[in-house]
Every structure is written in C-alpha cells, then in structure tokens.
C-alpha cells in the first residue's frame, strides 16, 4: 500500500492549530496521556469509516499501517468504537429553534431580528406569551421547565412586570459549561471539516474566508468587535430566515436531507513584538 507523502507545511500547521485546544485541555485537567488514548480511538475510527477500499472494511493490519496504532490496540478499539453524532443535542436544537421563532415570527417580534418582551404566562399575554411561544414549537415540553433552564443559562431575564426578555440573538448560553461545550464541539468540528475539505479535496471549495490585520489600536479593535456583533448577527439572522423559508418551501425526502452550518467569528490578541506592515488577507 502506497502511503501519501507528508507535506512539510502540515505538521507545523497542525501544531499551531492544536495550541488553543491544548490550552483548553490543561485548564480542564485533560492530561497528555488521556488525550493520547482518545486520539488512538479517533485515528482507528476515522481509518475504519473513511479509508475503505471498494467500500470494504479495512483489516486490522491496514488500519495499523495507516494510523501507526499497534494492531492489538486496533483490534481492541474496533470492538468498542461507535462513532460520534455530529448533531447538536436535542435540547440545544430545541432551544435554537425556539429562539429563531421568537426572533422572526409574529407576534413575538417587532420585525425579524427584533424580539419583543413577552408575558411569561398565557393568562396575561395570550398568543404573545412565553407559554404560547413554547407551545408553538412543542406541545410536549412545559414552558416553565424551559424558562427555568433559560434563566439558569442567561438566555432570558424576567422584569418587574413578569415579562420575559430575550438576552441573546442566538441560542448561545451565557452560563453552563456543558451547553457551551455542545456548541464548541459542533461549530469547531464543522469549521475544521470545511477547512480540511478545501485543503485536501478537488472541486468547489466551501466558503471559508477571513480578514486579518496586525497593527490596530485597542480602540480600533473595540470598534471592529462591535461592528461584528451588530452586522455579523444581521447577516446570520438574514441567512437564518432564508434557510427557514427554504426548509419549508422545498421539503426533501428523508434520504436526501442535508445539514448545514454557517459561522462567523472574531478573535484578537496582542500582535508579535516585531513591527510589521498592516495587512489584509483572505484565506480559502
């Protein structure tokens, strides 16, 4: 079996990409040994699922050759590997759907993207209440359960008039590590999939672009951060509306369904000490 030639730029790139992930692991008590064991599992699973010949499952020996994992470990890991579902947990998907309805559907918003404060109880607000909002999405989940959880996560607040205010323009919990980790898992995975596809596959690339400068003042960075928060969310809200309309208008058969992720991010840190010329670039 012919193994591909390792591009000299790949390992330095992977080393750089891994730094924030290692920072997260060290902050949360994940040791090198524990992560190395996890990586073994992932190497074996990906090799088994995605590197087949003529759709035939690879042998333990072939996986060992591909991955560098000892054949005994390959046999042990194949016996227990079940793969990972890349979809968001159901409770997260439900929350995202609920926020989308609040943001974009009458009578819960002034206009798309401008959610209204709504009465907590249907007895006070009728169809423009949190009770009615939850009932519009699911008849099986009690509004009080959702409200208590959203108050815990910082998604909503309740004012003195017993009205519920949406505190975010997307279901991104302000509290709750497990909920934040679900988005970390989903978003970073899909961004990495797009980038890896563009690096390794032929044909049309996925859209993946960024703007980067390295000589901005703290004031300029704060202006850009605010612009991303406002204009970026306007763009995502528009795409959310379009996706919802298309989902309703063009219903595919179950076997043809596809999922998408569209993201936007902002990051800043001190520039290297060396003085450099301001730059702007797009990556693909």
Query: What Cα–Cα distance (Å) separates residue 21 from each residue in 25, 78, 86, 147?
Result: 6, 26, 18, 33
Residues of the domain holding 71? 1-84
Is 164 exposed, middle or buried, given 0-12, 13-18 or 19+ CB atoms closer than 10 A? buried
45 contact partners, CB below 8 Å, separation of at least 6: 77, 81, 83
Distance of alpha carbon 157 from alpha carbon 167, whole angstroms: 7
pLDDT at 75: 93
- Return the pLDDT at 62: 93
Residue 72 is assigned to a structural domain of this protein = yes
Residue 271 lies in a domain: no
pTM for the whole thing?
0.71
Domain count, the chain: 1
Q: Please tell me the predicted confidence (pLDDT) of residue 284.
A: 47
Is position 153 within any domain? no
Which long-range CB contacts under 8 A does 215-222 form with residues at least 24 apart? 215/271, 215/275, 215/276, 215/277, 215/278, 216/278, 221/268
pLDDT at 164: 96
- Three-point CA angle 178, 182, 185, nearest 5°: 130
User: For residue 130, how many other CB atoms are within 10 A of its CB?
Assistant: 28
Instruction: Determine, yes or no, domain membership for 17.
Output: yes
Q: Is the residue at 44 inside a domain?
A: yes
Kindly state whether residue 101 falls inside one of the protein's structural domains: no
Can you list the residues of the chain whose pLDDT is less than 70? 1-3, 81-92, 169-175, 273-284
Residue with tokens 């409200």: 147
- C-alpha 37 chain-centroid distance: 24
Residue 24 counted as domain residue: yes
Q: What is the Cβ-side half-sphere exposure of residue 201, based on CA atoms within 13 angstroms? A: 10
- pLDDT tens for residues 186-234? 899 999 999 999 999 998 999 999 999 999 999 999 999 999 988 998 8
In-domain check, residue 246: no
The pair of three-digit structure tokens given for residue 92, joined into one six-digit string: 């997260």
Going through 27-131 in order, the beta strands assigned E by DSSP cover: 109-111, 114-115, 118-119
Contact 65, 58 (CB under 8 A): no
User: What number of other Cβ atoms are within 10 A of residue 104's Cβ?
Assistant: 19
The pLDDT of residue 274 is 43
Please give the pLDDT value at position 82.
Answer: 55
Residue 129 bridge partners (DSSP): 119
168 token code pair: 């975010």
């Amino acid at each position: 079996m012919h193994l591909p030639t390792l591009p000299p730029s790949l390992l330095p790139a992977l080393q750089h990409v891994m730094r924030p992930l290692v920072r997260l692991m060290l902050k949360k008590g994940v040791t090198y040994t524990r992560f190395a064991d996890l990586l073994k599992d992932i190497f074996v699973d990906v090799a088994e699922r995605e590197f087949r010949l003529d759709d035939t499952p690879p042998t333990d020996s072939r996986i060992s050759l591909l991955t560098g994992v000892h054949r005994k470990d390959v046999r042990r890991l194949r016996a227990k590997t079940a793969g990972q579902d890349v979809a968001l947990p159901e409770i997260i998907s439900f929350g995202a759907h609920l926020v989308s309805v609040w943001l974009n559907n009458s009578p819960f918003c002034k206009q798309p993207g401008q959610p209204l404060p709504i009465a907590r109880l249907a007895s006070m607000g009728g169809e423009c209440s949190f009770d009615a909002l939850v009932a519009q999405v699911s008849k099986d989940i009690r509004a009080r359960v959702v409200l208590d959880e959203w108050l815990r996560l910082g998604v909503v607040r309740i004012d003195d008039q017993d009205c519920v205010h949406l505190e975010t323009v997307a279901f991104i919990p302000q509290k709750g590590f497990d909920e934040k980790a679900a988005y970390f898992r989903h978003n970073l995975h899909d961004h990495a999939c797009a980038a890896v596809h563009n690096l390794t596959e032929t044909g049309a690339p996925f859209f993946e672009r960024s703007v980067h400068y390295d000589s901005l003042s703290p004031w300029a960075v704060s202006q850009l951060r605010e612009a991303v928060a406002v204009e970026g969310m306007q763009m995502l809200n528009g795409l959310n509306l379009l996706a919802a309309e298309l989902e309703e208008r063009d219903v595919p058969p179950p076997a043809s369904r596809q999922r998408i992720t569209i993201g936007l991010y902002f990051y800043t840190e001190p520039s290297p000490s060396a003085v450099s010329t301001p730059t702007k670039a797009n990556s693909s």
